[in-house]
Amino acid sequence: MSFTEQWVAFLTLVTKEIRRFVRIWPQTLLPPAITMSLYFVIFGNLVGSRIGDMGGFDYMQYIVPGLIMMSVIQNSYGNVVSSFFSTKFQHSIEEMMVSPMPAHVILTGYMVGGIARGLMVGGIVTVLSLFFTHLTLQHAWITLSVVVMTAALFSLGGFINAVFARNFDDISIIPNFVLTPLTYLGGVFYSLELLPDFWRTVTLANPIVYMVNAFRYGILGVSDVNVYTSLGTIALFVLGFYILALWLLRRGTGIRA
């Protein structure tokens, strides 16, 4: 395929993916908006007002970047894992497998679809948060880099999960038993400064800590970890996941008999 043809195929897949999650917006865009609004009301307004400041900001302001990042992570992952597994389940993946689309175009198409949903939900949650608190953007490029790379990373994670999944239970195990605990323990609701030394060290092994903190730095200008270490780590993980996913796709793991 020429570069132009690959570009057309890529845009076709991305458009298809975006059209899919927009068409089923009550399942994809509405729930995170409602869930995050409840977080803002309960943890921000009701509980947060009794907690006081954290990291030099009122509690509501402090948790907003983490909540935005949480919705980006969950939705970029959820988009690709459900979409790719559905195409496997319905065999419509064969439409792509018989076509001359190279594996990297298929993978990048799904990844960008996941990023698109992650960013769209992140945008909705950001707009909702403005009804509850005031936000300023301290470092726009860092904010953008972190959110895009994080969405890319979890899209690729969702893709790898879908490759190995054999039934619908398999696509909910990782989000429920791995992603959710890591996100809640990833410094979304608290500063690592509050933890005893031992648990602080343990927490630093959680990759989501780096994403949440780098994003918080972009918006509020404060972070519990070095931002450039975070950016580098996320970039390395994106590269590693991309190579792994591409290898699996080229081999036909979970797709071709």
Partner 1 sequence: MSALTIRNLTKTYGNGVQALKGIDLTVEKGEFFALLGPNGAGKSTTIGIVSSLVNKSGGEVEIFGHSLDRERALAKKKIGVVPQEFNFNQFEKVYDIVVTQAGFYGIPIAEARRQAEKYLRQLGLWEKRQSAARMLSGGMKRRLMIARALVHEPELLILDEPTAGVDIELRRSMWDFLIGLNEQGRTIILTTHYLEEAESLCRRIAIIDHGVIVENTDMRSLLEKLQVETFVLDLQRPLQSAPELCGFHVRLRDAATLEVDVPKTESLNRLFGALAEQDIQVLSMRNKANRLEELFVRLVERNADLAGKEAAS
Using CB under 8 A as the criterion, which residues of the chain lie in contact with partner 1 when the complex forms?
Answer: 1-2, 4-6, 8-9, 11-13, 15-16, 19, 86-87, 90-92, 94-102, 252, 256-257
Q: DSSP assignment of 241-257, as one string? A: HHHHHHHHHHHTTTT--
Smallest gap from residue 71 Cβ to partner 1 (A): 25
Smallest gap from residue 165 Cβ to partner 1 (A): 18
Q: Which residues, in sequence order, are bridge partners of residue 53?
A: 58
Instruction: Give CA–CA dist 19/117, Å, rounded.
Output: 10
Instruction: Give CA–CA dist 209/186, Å, rounded.
Output: 4
Nearer residue to partner 1 within complex by CB, 103 or 185: 103
Sorted by sequence, the CB contacts under 8 Å of residue 194 that are 6+ apart come out as: none
CA distances from 122 to 7, 66, 90, 150, 203 (A): 27, 11, 29, 12, 24
Smallest gap from residue 99 Cβ to partner 1 (A): 4
Q: Is the dihedral of CA 220, 225, 227, 231 positive or negative?
A: negative
Q: How far is CA 173 from the centre of its chain?
A: 16
Nearer residue to partner 1 within complex by CB, 56 or 252: 252
Q: Minimal CA–CA distance to 147: which of 57, 39, 225, 70?
A: 70
Smallest gap from residue 163 Cβ to partner 1 (A): 15
Nearer residue to partner 1 within complex by CB, 43 or 89: 89
Nearer residue to partner 1 within complex by CB, 28 or 230: 28
Nearer residue to partner 1 within complex by CB, 50 or 91: 91
Smallest gap from residue 6 Cβ to partner 1 (A): 7
Nearer residue to partner 1 within complex by CB, 67 or 163: 163
Smallest gap from residue 111 Cβ to partner 1 (A): 17
